Amino acid sequence: MKLISGGVCAAEGFTAAGVHCGIRRNKSKRDLSLIYSDREASAAAVYTQNLVKGAPIAVTKSHLENGHARAVICNSGNANTCSENGIEIANLTCELTANALGIDAGDVVVASTGVIGKPLDIAPIAAGIPQLASSLSRDGSGEAAEGIMTTDTAKKEVAVEFILGGKTCRIGGIAKGSGMIHPNMATMLVFITTDAAISPEMLRAALSHDVASTFNMLSIDGDTSTNDMVVVLANGAAGNEPVVAEGSDFTEFMRALNTVTVALCRAIAGDGEGCTRMIECRVSGARDLRAARIAAKSVVCSSLVKAMIFGADANFGRVFCAVGYSGADVDVTKMGVSFSSAAGEIEVARDGFSLDFSEETAKTVLTEHDIIINVTLKDGPASASAWGCDLTYDYVKINADYRT
């Protein structure tokens, strides 16, 4: 398996594009994106479990009931949520997209992101879709990634190449997400494409299994969005024998999918609103997987831990505290903590007690962008990772007047 370029266009048969159609006032920002498969694709998705859901989720759920799709269209700048005609707008967006591509409207996945509670005008979308469709390109992943951004400061895309049944396959994805990130079953907007052949049933199984250890372990601010969606399209263009059951090919596909999703998790965490550092908490030696996940997620969600990382202060007591109230079944008298980064690693606590350590060295380690908090529990064989970011003054500034 190796990293390659191309994002959602790395897989054979996929093209993408992103344009500015006029939803956003800033004409330099793309606000409408399209991903297209030149043939029918197996499709699977997971969605937010917030009771308040964007209209596109209801429409996409309906379209994916048969397990197939060919296109994904997404606008930024408006979430199409809590709007009286939201379903109508989402359906019309699918119809316009289908007409431009010559496919069935039921084969279109629709998504939106942006301000909640503001009516979405179909006029700019209708005007932009013809240009969007005509701009589809094998080089269009970056433009599509830009078109789904809101407060993101960097586009997020990744792709890998792997072997399945003797055939070279590719899987790639783009994502958006910077704030309002604390998922239940999905997170932000993530679109993944692959040319591997896999049945809709096995694709759903792969995605459902994967999100439990990736996107569900990601938190920026503790708020679960109304529009969260992760979608995977698999069009089979690589020509491998279709994966229709568990086995070595399914395991390899899962490994490739996980490589992409972990990379996107890290990219999203590293671009949290106002953040200066990405945090990864690695819990090892847990009694079971549930305990490992609960403990790791509690650490990255802690406002005090997040503020500690912003200040590059090795106040490990906040890590202990977060594990202690997490609800995980742990023996805190055996717990240890170390911090690591590109600048090195420093152990600060062992067996429930503090160690003598150099504050200067700790400061150096914690001043890097990517910070790893290692929590050892010595309770059992399970481990888990969670991702988040520091909490800065700018997070409040960004969200204090987000709507206006």
pLDDT in tens, 265-321: 999 999 988 899 999 999 999 999 999 999 999 999 999 999 999 999 999 999 999
Q: Which helix (H) or strand (E) holds 61?
A: helix 55-63
pLDDT in tens, 355-367: 999 999 999 999 9
Mean pLDDT of the chain: 95
Choosing from 237, 269, 301, the residue where a domain stops is 269
**Which residues have C-beta within 8 Å of that of residue 353, sequence separation ≥ 6?**
none
Give 186's pLDDT tier (boundaries 50, 70, 90). Answer: low
**Which residues have C-beta within 8 Å of that of residue 306, sequence separation ≥ 6?**
279, 300, 388, 389, 390, 391
Q: What are phi and psi of 121, to 5 degrees?
A: -80, 130
Cβ–Cβ < 8 Å for 134, 32: no
Is 93 tagged catalytic? no
What's the predicted TM-score (pTM) here? 0.94
The gap from C-alpha 211 to its chain's centroid, in whole angstroms, comes to 9
| Residue 93: per-residue pLDDT | 98
CATH number at residue 72: 3.60.70.12
Residue 70 has pLDDT above 90, yes or no: yes
Q: Does residue 249 sit in the same domain as residue 291?
A: no
| Residue 180: per-residue pLDDT | 72
Q: Does residue 355 sit in the same domain as residue 249?
A: no
Q: Does residue 283 sit in the same domain as residue 334?
A: yes
Q: How many domains does the chain have?
A: 2
Residue 322 has pLDDT above 80, yes or no: yes
- CA nearest 114: which of 158, 153, 152? 152
Q: Does residue 306 sit in the same domain as residue 368?
A: yes
| Residue 223: per-residue pLDDT | 79
Q: Which of 187, 214, 261, 376 is the catalytic position?
A: 187
Give 185's pLDDT tier (boundaries 50, 70, 90). Answer: low
Helix (H/G/I), strand (E/B), else coil: 18: strand
**Which residues have C-beta within 8 Å of that of residue 105, sequence separation ≥ 6?**
63, 91, 94, 95, 97, 98
Cβ–Cβ < 8 Å for 87, 97: no
Give 225's pLDDT tier (boundaries 50, 70, 90). Answer: confident
Q: Does residue 286 sit in the same domain as residue 261?
A: no
Residue 85 has pLDDT above 60, yes or no: yes
Choosing from 219, 237, 269, the residue where a domain stops is 269
Give 4's pLDDT tier (boundaries 50, 70, 90). Answer: very high
pLDDT > 90 in the chain, percent: 88
Q: Does residue 198 sit in the same domain as residue 288?
A: no
pLDDT in tens, 326-357: 999 999 999 999 999 999 999 999 999 999 99
Q: Does residue 179 sit in the same domain as residue 308?
A: no
Residue 179 has pLDDT above 90, yes or no: no
Residue span of the structural domain in which 304 resides:
278-400
Q: How many helices (H) and strands (E) does the chain have?
A: 11, 15
Weakest mean pLDDT among 13-27, 85-99, 179-193, 213-227:
179-193
CATH number at residue 298: 3.10.20.340
Choosing from 269, 290, 322, the residue where a domain stops is 269
Stretch 241-266: mean pLDDT: 97
